[in-house]
Structure 1
Amino acid sequence: MGFRRIAVVGAGVIGSGVAHLLAGVGIEVVLVDSDERQLGLVMGNVARQARFFRLLDKTAAPPDDVAVRLHPTTNLEALADAEFVIENITEDWALKRPLHQRIDQIVGPDVPVAANTSAIPITRIASAHDAQARVVGMHFMNPVPLMPTVEVIRAVHTSEACLRAACELAGQAGRSAIVVNDSPGFVTNRVMMLFVNEAMFLVHEGVASIQEVDRLFKSCFGHKMGPLETADLIGLDTVLRSLEVIHGELEDDKYRPCPLLKKLVYAGHIGRKGGKGFYTYD
């Protein structure tokens, strides 16, 4: 029968993408964010994206079908009726910890709670719950509605039932689930963050230009996007936070953030979502 009502907490780029994906396969989605204005922007953006995806793929859900299944709210208590919760707020433990403590109080002990994080260990997030066995990691990649795979992370206390539920939800959304064990950055970001950070160091040191670095990876290795284009798509602020988390957790200097990355983020040049990063966007 599958899941019928899912709660998504956090209406940023990834959270809104997750909500769009799930609504597009017929699931009722409660989208929770503390910022009412952000929720309004998301509803407009999802409608535009749904029209765009429909042009790319005629089998994609009609925009009206997606919109009618999205239920935006600023009330966290709306989680109480959800069959599954996916948290997607910013990569900041000081914010995630109290949020997960509230989620633990609101939803039943058997309701799976997935943390969609780039780098924070899922076992650490689960420590904010009394019912730690129901916490799992689900790492959705950007842009969520177009990516075919979800990285599912097993924390120390994650139950097999919770793990199965996460994989079933991914399958219901038409996505493959690859299960990995817990680690800062998991598999994808442990490798990806090294990749994009080292590309930034090459530009920072004057070895090659931004365009040359990206062209080499696209022309030599067949990558659809170069590492710096990829960093802009992820969001340079997200890349910086992820590197800081992995660096702090592993205490390994190979993850130290490139000074150029810090400079761009401090300047407000955070990538596609901000209009400017390594490249400028309309």
Structure 2
Amino acid sequence: MHPGMLYLCPTPIGNLEDITLRVLRVLREADVVAAEDTRHSRKLLTHFEIHKPLVSYHEHNKAERGPELLQRLLAGESIALVSDAGMPGIADPGADLVRLALDAGVPVVPLPGANAALTSLIASGLPSEQFQFLGFLPKTTKKRRALLEEAASYPGTLIFYEAPHRLLATLKELQSAFGNRQAVAVRELTKKFEEFVRGDLASIEAHFQTVAPRGEFTLLCAGAEPKEADAALEADPSAQIAEAVAEVERLVAAGEHKKDAIRKIASQKKLGRRDLYQAVIKEAVES
């Protein structure tokens, strides 16, 4: 018995025309569609006259549903994974199912399509040569502050997702961590009332203090100026270690062996290999 295929199918982030012809074909041919919200996805499938069994797969049932879906894949079924909007696996539990499938030897096929972060970036007016996607900020104050402190010295554009009821609080936190940098708040992407609010963090906060935030937001913030980044590292040596640990984690996530990643980054940053190793282990334990 050959395993089936796990297809990662991007769905529209607003305008239904965002969906690709290939995604529509795969949705029609798959044995089952695994959806973050079956009610939401049923409307999408009905619009395109696609009639397939829907199975829920979301943050609250992934521990039980993931192994169930894996067994179906191992039995030869093909599964189309969709999120409520955009790329499955970006700021949703799809990444967990991908890891389960890959660990079991099931082929995973990504399909290109709509994505709110990149769609916002290319029209933001902020630099796009280098950027970092941070998604939704952690829920706890301690973890949020740690993440923002680490990101403060990053030179490229920073991209966040945020819910409307959290937007003002997040804008305040970004100003506290970064200062009053240039930024863009994006809402209703590809919809009738698509809106880009450009300015600095303070002016954007002022705007949404008078205009109630509505809809999910993509929030983009300019990176640190080169002098600002250097000064942050010089003033706080621990920031250099934190930056090195983050780079090690990025290399490991990309498939590099941890020891090789530590050796490489320690050499680039002129850090002690043992010190960096201990910092990486400490970060893994605390997270």
TM-score class, shorter: 0.3 to 0.5
Larger-Rg structure: 2
**TM-score between the two structures when normalised by the length of structure 1:** 0.33
**TM-score between the two structures when normalised by the length of structure 2:** 0.33
Determine which structure has greater relative contact order: mean sequence separation of CA pairs < 8 Å that are 6+ residues apart, divided by chain length: 2
